[in-house]
Structure 1
Amino acid sequence: MTDPQSDSNSQSKKDLSTASGAPRVAVLVDTATGWGRRLIQGVFQYGHRHGRWHLDVRARYPQGEVRIPEGWTGDGIIARLATPEIVEHVKSFGVPYVNVSSIASDKRAPMITSDKRAIAEIATQHFLERGFSHFAYSGEDDLPYVKAQREDFEAEVRKHGFEVITDPDPVSHDPAANYAELMQHLVEWVKALPKPCAVFSFGTQRGVDLLEACRMADVVVPHEVAVLGGDYDDVLCEACDPPMSAVVTASQRIGYEAAEVLSRMMQGEEVEARKTVLAPVNIHSNPSTNTYAVKDKNLITAMQFIERNAFEPIQMEDVLEQVPMSRRTLERHFKDAFGKTPAEEIRWRRVHQARKLLAETNMDLEDVAKASGLNSYAYLSQVFRKMLDETPAGYRKRMRDV
């Protein structure tokens, strides 16, 4: 049987289907999520910069299935190939395609997706910075990519000596669960969690449901339960009460890079079917995690001072001026509460800021160092090599925002 993925690569640029010569590309992602909308923006951005693309995007899908209409004629497809059924559906059109799912359902397709380990790392750090020692995870575990995210979160939390409380009830794992039954269960689950507890949810909707469950259970957010969503949605996260913090995944860059790969395939280039993972951009911080799970007010004062001034030329002596504690006592208690010494916390925040500036701006490397509180490019390079095992220039080349 002929492989449509390899056959379609033989078409040339002049064979593109639309009369105007603009490639016609179907994008099969859920437009109801922030992840999907940002991904489409990335595809559009690539098409806009490289001529013009005609995008086929459907706002709604019958029975919830993301499918291309029968009879569609186009030049390429970008899709979440999360199931064998979707793979066969996409292959039936005989055009090149790129997978943007974290599930490798088709080993022959190039795959560009989120780095779930990096998502787990940034989520864990977000909670550790706030002094949490109780962690929990909630998501539809019946879905393989949700289970994979949970396992990565568990592994990351264990690195710091803690365990993750997971929800064993089947109603919580079923993506088709009855809403009333799910909410009744989540109410009891959040009541039973040790307090204060940091809860990481897969995606946005489960985080929204958890916040509602906390309201129904009279559990105070964020001081008893802090909720972090697995992906930021500019509508759902801000409409919550309180507004929900969430990881900002690199879905826009995923869309852009998927479009770049698909463009090469549509022009007949043989493209290696390899997996590319992209780290999250940052965490969009909102009131749902705006708390400190420590009782010592001196430690909170020290952390707040670091938060406000990390990119200024502060040192340990400046932190000590804020609290009536000896250096040794502060370092020991601060590390017990937050997992790092004050000096390590300052350095981590500066490196995180440098990573953000390198990825999202065209700032000169020396200016990036100064804007991050690292004083010079030489010191920035030294810290990068020690903490990330790569140079700032290499990181920018690999991770910068398209």
Structure 2
Amino acid sequence: MKTSKAHRIALLFNANKTFDREVMSGIAAYLASRRATWELFLEEDFRLRLGGIEHWQGDGIIADMDDPAVAAALARCKVPVVAVGGSYASPHDYPAGVPYVATDNFELIKAAYTHLVDAGLHRFAMFSLPESAQNRWAQEREKAFRSLMAQDGMTAEIFRGCETSVQEWDEAVRGQVDWLRSLPKPVGIIAVNDARARQLLQACLLAGIEVPEQVALIGIDNDPLVRMLTRIPLSSVIQGAQEMGRTAASLVERMLHGAKLEGLRVLVPPAGIQAAISSQHQVIRHPQVMRARHFIRQYACQGIKTHQVAEHVGVSRSSLETYFRRELGCSVHDVILRCKLDAAKAGLASERSIAEVALGSGFTSIQYLHLVFKRELGCTPRAYRERAQEERGLLACG
């Protein structure tokens, strides 16, 4: 039986980055759908293996070209190359002579901004990264933010801070806290990625700034690891990275069959918003209710009770219940339960077992989690997980 020749394709991505992993997932999905025969070559971090890449004897390359050093190294390659990375306002910033599949930086920031506007906010800021050749994508997102602010007649408030390291960690956090305290409140802040959003969320907790009543925060990437490492669930813009991977793979396949695609650019819009507590701004007038909700969001999954919330705020349990009924129309227990339920729903989107999700979200048993899901959502935790997986599959295919 005659078999077709397997094409040797190098994937030059950094597997430590969520964005790159999602792009590679999209490439894999394309290959599965087309039954294409490719031999894939990849490194955990391809930047360590750039030397001599122009002499590689394969058939094609798909590469993350946000780093100009990568674009320079691949400019000498003779095999078909498809670039993946962020979009640029200036056409001169794209690598020359190669098809380029880009995440639309303007649309990412616009989606985050619109989400915060819809939450009822009127003041906005951005937490970015220091300017560098490797951070060009972040500076492009700054340009998008400035453009949106100018369109609405507002000044763009942007804080870059410093690159965090063990030696500069305390200094970085102090700078973030000082900046947060200087901002008029309430304010909606867009972070250029989830890692930066997580840092700012920690700074808010350290400074005693209520999230999202005083600072509503949204990141970009929908990084599952970051979501697991934050005490308050983080909202995030979902990049269309899997669609980028599928598109890049299809372009390589076309080039392998003789298509000339030099200079082609494809902009891929965001896939949606993962809305969570960090951006669910709500005007709260009573200071004790604001402090209590902030405390609940941090510790609901640790099994706190109403009396502990009242002790933290410094009022009696009955007084706090009265304040909650007047301000929110519900009890303290209701808010604690909602936070635990939100944590459980987020946990079910991961690979953790239902028992681990129950424990991690503060429910005393799988049976109690099951009872709450049936009562509040009308389905079991397992059914909720299956439905969420189906919706994500449809979103990825859309």
TM-score after normalising by structure 1: 0.63
Could you say if the C-alpha distance between residues 279 and 215 of structure 1 is closer, same or farther in structure 2, counting changes exceeding 3 Å? same
* Contact 1:134 1:164 survives alignment (8 Å): no
Question: 2:228: which partner in 1?
Answer: 238
Question: 2:95: which partner in 1?
Answer: 106
| Alignment partner of 1:288 is 2:278 | yes
SS class of match (2:189)? strand
Could you say if the C-alpha distance between residues 58 and 276 of structure 1 is closer, same or farther in structure 2, counting changes exceeding 3 Å? same
Letter in 2 for 1:31: A
Structure number with the higher helix fraction is 2
In structure 1, distance between residues paired with 2:169 and 2:244: 32
| Alignment partner of 1:44 is 2:28 | yes
In structure 2, distance between residues paired with 1:293 and 1:37: 38
| Alignment partner of 1:140 is 2:129 | yes
Question: After TM superposition, which residue ranges in structure 1, 4 or more long, deviate above 4 angstroms?
Answer: 68-72, 174-177, 293-296
Question: 1:124: which partner in 2?
Answer: 113
* Contact 1:39 1:254 survives alignment (8 Å): yes
In structure 1, distance between residues paired with 2:283 and 2:249: 43
SS class of match (1:199)? strand
| Alignment partner of 1:264 is 2:254 | yes
* Contact 2:121 2:281 survives alignment (8 Å): no
In structure 1, distance between residues paired with 2:111 and 2:7: 37
* Contact 2:27 2:248 survives alignment (8 Å): yes
Could you tell me how far 1:270 is from its partner in structure 2?
Answer: 1.3
In structure 1, distance between residues paired with 2:252 and 2:246: 10
Could you say if the C-alpha distance between residues 177 and 120 of structure 1 is closer, same or farther in structure 2, counting changes exceeding 3 Å? farther
Q: 1:166 aligns with which of 154, 158, 162?
A: 158
Question: 1:211: which partner in 2?
Answer: 201
Unaligned runs of 5+ in 1: 1-13, 297-398
Q: How many residues align?
A: 279
Unaligned runs of 5+ in 2: 287-394
Question: 1:247: which partner in 2?
Answer: 237
| Alignment partner of 1:56 is 2:41 | yes
Could you say if the C-alpha distance between residues 155 and 257 of structure 1 is closer, same or farther in structure 2, counting changes exceeding 3 Å? same
Letter in 1 for 2:231: D
Could you say if the C-alpha distance between residues 191 and 66 of structure 1 is closer, same or farther in structure 2, counting changes exceeding 3 Å? farther
Residue by residue, what CA displacement relative to the aligned partner does 1:16-55 show, whole Å, maximum 9, x if unpaired? xxx9722222222222232111110111111222223222
Instruction: Give the number of the structure with larger relative contact order, counting CA–CA contacts within 8 Å between residues 6 or more apart.
Output: 1
* Contact 1:246 1:283 survives alignment (8 Å): yes
In structure 2, distance between residues paired with 1:52 and 1:235: 32
Could you tell me how far 1:168 is from its partner in structure 2?
Answer: 6.1
Could you say if the C-alpha distance between residues 76 and 39 of structure 1 is closer, same or farther in structure 2, counting changes exceeding 3 Å? same
SS class of match (2:85)? coil
Could you tell me how far 1:75 is from its partner in structure 2?
Answer: 1.4
* Contact 1:134 1:163 survives alignment (8 Å): no
In structure 1, distance between residues paired with 2:185 and 2:99: 44
Deviates more, 1:78-87 or 1:145-154: 78-87
Could you say if the C-alpha distance between residues 265 and 201 of structure 1 is closer, same or farther in structure 2, counting changes exceeding 3 Å? same
